[in-house]
Chain A
């Protein structure tokens, strides 16, 4: 709780004492109570459950974040998000910190350059403050994983060709490319835990835990691997890259394709049991707005991750479709997630990374005013993860339910 107090103190100090024109302070705090959970221990507590709440962790400060941003010049701005978490342990720090340069160069193309730590624009689910979803409380499997293991720590350029500057075409295209470091362990969680469903974004220098699977235990071939990941460690010194292509049809249909390759040297092992995981994926997302209130969001991901010389090779796939309604007061969203992991290595047969599952999430959120929101969310999921069989008392198959009551305050 110290970290939350720190954030609140910082927010009050900044918003009262600093009246600098360019500094913008926003924040959000959210408490969640799981009205109904299953007994499966959450992965955050070292269990094999894929959700954030469990019988011992029903009441959580699910979000506490502060967004600070400002302008350095007319063309250069900065943006940062500080998060605090207490699951599994208290930790506060940055989830985003970037500087953006947006010059006015051309009447036909718009350029933008970004450097720092920030989220690539993969999907459409998380446009709210601090990369939160305004639709459901629990992210899709894809966004859950991005939030815990994927971020750009480097530089990105983006060039946009607005249709209106080209014979008033309704089609706007954008191309972006980024190089980054510090994303070498990305893929670790997918290999053993499999896909998760939660709203936890990992903070710089935070350790994200998963179950202590016997296959990575003492005496095993994979023993050097820890049962936690520090997602933003630089391990092999190599640059990774990702590129994106966006296509907007007016404001109605928006399509984004991204290719991600962290270019990690999978043979390198760093202290603390952190391997470099060579992770490659394709991401395709689509948002269609039927009207001012209704929208459809879809996202698919197809990739693979590899660690150790031939030790672990896992294919991963996921997609979701979400229909969402929003007006000034009422917000409703319904999402179906489907996901799997496919074990493709043969070296260590006792380490089976196969898994699959689905999730159905329904959320209703009501805005009391511009600051307060209350809501509820029901999540049903069924997963099968081979790695669970490594524990004698655990089935590979797991059905989980979660009913949340949530209060959110933003400023």
Chain B
């Protein structure tokens, strides 16, 4: 639901551009179950969209810490954007990344907000908390203004300019390798795109798992 809300907020931000066409994706894992926390990026292939993309301003994203968990689990930003980290807990967090794309380390006191570095390289950035080892999240940095994170139903909606051609690409933290089905091309306006993964996701803790009171013991 949060992913959906964020997608909606994202769309509202972009609505000033009046892109005009909505592209929807329905994502499923190899079992046929909805695939949340996946990111669809649309890379422009035609001149008009390439120009629009080049002129677009990166929008910052927010990764909160609440109840000793990151929310949402995955955020996406355009290259050049920043991510802010509001700490909504009553305890301190130490948010860090050792990912090659963007290493950083932020100490965030209870109730305070810190802003991370400018995301200058594309790729997935694994975020952790040095105090609470189970906390983890991803910032996915992509080089296009057209992207969104799939919601709990595996649905993605992205507003894009009409009559432009795009290459779409899917990313998920628990994919061991890219499969051919993880990308394709489309021309806007486009019919809804359905994607089903062919191989199983790696095991993981993508959902805010049920924490034990004594996990840090």
Point out residues on A near B: beta carbons under 8 Å.
21, 71, 74-75, 102, 104, 106-107, 110, 121, 124, 127-128, 134, 160, 162, 164-165, 167-170, 250-251, 289, 291-292, 326
Q: Which residues of B contact A (CB under 8 A)?
A: 92, 94, 96, 98-99, 105, 107, 109, 126, 130-131, 133-134, 136, 173-174, 176, 202-205, 209-215, 217
Chain B binding surface, main DSSP class: loop
9 A-B pairs within 8 Å (CB atoms) are namely: A21-B109, A75-B130, A102-B130, A134-B213, A165-B126, A168-B202, A168-B203, A170-B204, A292-B210
Q: Please give, as numbers and ranges, the residues of chain A lying within 8 Å of B94 by CB-CB distance.
A: 74, 104
Residue of chain A at shortest CB distance from B211 = A251
User: Which A residues are in CB contact (< 8 Å) with B210?
Assistant: 251, 291-292
Residues on the B chain within 8 Å of A75, using CB: 130
Most chain B CB inside 10 Å of its own CB: which residue of A102, A107, A110 = A107
Chain B CB within 10 Å — which of A74, A162, A170 has the most? A74
Instruction: Give Cα A292–Cα B211 distance, bound, in whole angstroms.
Output: 8
Q: Are A169 and B203 in contact (CB under 8 A)?
A: yes
**CB of A410, distance to nearest CB on chain B (Å):** 13
Q: A160-B133, A170-B203 are in contact. List 17 more A-B contacts (CB 8 A).
A: A21-B109, A71-B92, A74-B105, A75-B130, A102-B130, A102-B131, A104-B130, A106-B98, A107-B98, A124-B214, A124-B217, A164-B204, A165-B126, A168-B204, A250-B205, A251-B211, A291-B210
**In the complex, are the beta carbons of A127 and B214 less than 8 A apart?**
yes
User: Contact between A127 and B217 (Cβ–Cβ < 8 Å)?
Assistant: yes
Distance from A166 Cβ to chain B, minimum over Cβ atoms (Å): 10
Separation in Å of the B205 CB from the closest CB of chain A? Answer: 7
Q: A106 contacts which chain B residues (CB < 8 A)? A: 98
Once A71-B92, A104-B105, A127-B217 are accepted as A-B contacts, the answer to whether A251 and B98 lie under 8 Å apart by CB is no
- Give the docked Cα–Cα distance between A184 and B131 (Å): 33
Measured between alpha carbons, how far is A107 from B209 in the docked complex, in Å?
22
Nearest-neighbour CB distance to chain A for B164, whole angstroms, equals 36
Q: For B131, what are the chain A residues with a Cβ–Cβ distance below 8 Å?
A: 102
Known: A164-B205, A251-B212. A104 touches B136 (CB 8 A): no
The answer to whether B202 touches A167, judged by C-beta atoms less than 8 angstroms apart, is: yes
Complex alpha-carbon distance, A326 and B212, angstroms: 10
Q: In the complex, A164→B138 CA distance in Å?
A: 12
Q: Please name the residue on chain A nearest to B105 by beta carbon.
A: A104
A292 / chain B contacts, CB cutoff of 8 Å: 210
Docked CA distance A312–B5 (Å): 70
B212→A107 contact, CB < 8 A: no
* In the complex, residue of chain B having the shortest beta-carbon distance to the beta carbon of A170: B203
Q: Closest B-chain residue to A160, C-beta based?
A: B133
Inter-chain contact total with CB atoms closer than 8 Å: 56
Contact B212 A289 (CB under 8 A): yes
Q: Is A110 in contact with B205, judged by CB distance below 8 angstroms? A: no
Q: Which residue of A lies closest to B109 (CB)?
A: A21
What residues on A are CB-neighbors of B203 within 8 Å?
168-170, 250
Nearest-CB distance from A156 to chain B (Å)? Answer: 15
Inter-subunit contact A251/B209 (CB<8 Å): yes
Contacts of A21 in B (CB 8 A): 109
Give the distance in Å from the alpha carbon of A229 to the alpha carbon of B214 in the complex: 32
Chain B residues with CB under 8 A of A74: 94, 105, 107
> Given contacts A167-B202, A289-B212, is CB(A104)–CB(B109) below 8 Å?
no
Q: Is the CB of B133 within 8 A of A168?
A: no
Query: What CA separation (Å) do A251 and B213 show in the bound complex?
Result: 11
Residues of A within 8 A of B134 (CB): 251
Kindly list chain A residues whose C-beta atoms are within 8 Å of the C-beta of B213. 127, 134, 326
CA distance A124 to B205 in the complex (A): 22
Q: How far is the CA of A370 from the CA of B152 in the complex (A)?
A: 33
* CB-based nearest A residue for B212: A251
The residues of A that contact B96 with a CB separation of less than 8 Å are 104
Docked Cα-Cα span, A82 to B139, in Å, equals: 42
Closest residue of chain A to B203 (Cβ to Cβ) is A170
Task: Say how far A330's CB is from chain B's closest CB, in angstroms.
Answer: 14
Given the complex of chains A and B, what is the CA–CA distance between A311 and B97 in angstroms?
Answer: 57
Chain B contacts of A167 at CB under 8 A? 176, 202
What CA separation (Å) do A160 and B128 show in the bound complex?
14
Residues of B within 8 A of A124 (CB): 214, 217
Tell me how far the C-beta of B100 lies from the nearest C-beta in chain A, rounded to whole angstroms: 9
A164-B136 in contact given A104-B98, A127-B217 (Cβ < 8 Å): yes
Which residues in A have their C-beta under 8 angstroms from that of B130?
A: 75, 102, 104
Complex Cα–Cα for A262 and B210 (A): 38
User: Are the C-beta atoms of A107 and B126 separated by less than 8 Å?
Assistant: yes
Q: Which residues of chain A come closer than 8 Å to B204, judged between CB atoms?
A: 164, 168, 170
Of A102, A106, A121, A168, chain B has the most CB atoms within 10 Å of the CB of A168
Question: In whole Å, how far is B171's beta carbon from the nearest beta carbon of chain A?
Answer: 14
A339 to chain B, nearest CB (A): 24
Which of A110, A169, A250 is the one whose CB lies under 8 Å from B133? A110
Residues of B near A102 (CB, < 8 A) are 130-131
A75 to B212, CA, bound (A): 24
Closest A residue to B110 by CB, please name it.
Answer: A21
Query: How far is the CB of A115 from the nearest CB of chain B, in Å?
Result: 19
Q: Which of B92, B174, B209, B212 contacts A168 (CB 8 A)?
A: B174
Docked complex Cα distance between A12 and B149 (Å): 49
Q: Which residues of the other chain, A, contact B174 by a CB distance below 8 angstroms?
A: 168
Assembly CA distance A337 to B205 (angstroms): 35
- Cα A289 to Cα B126 in complex, Å, equals 27
Which residues of B lie under 8 Å from residue A127 when comparing CB positions?
A: 213-214, 217
Q: Which residues of B contact A162 (CB under 8 A)?
A: 133
The smallest beta-carbon distance between B121 and chain A, in angstroms, is: 15
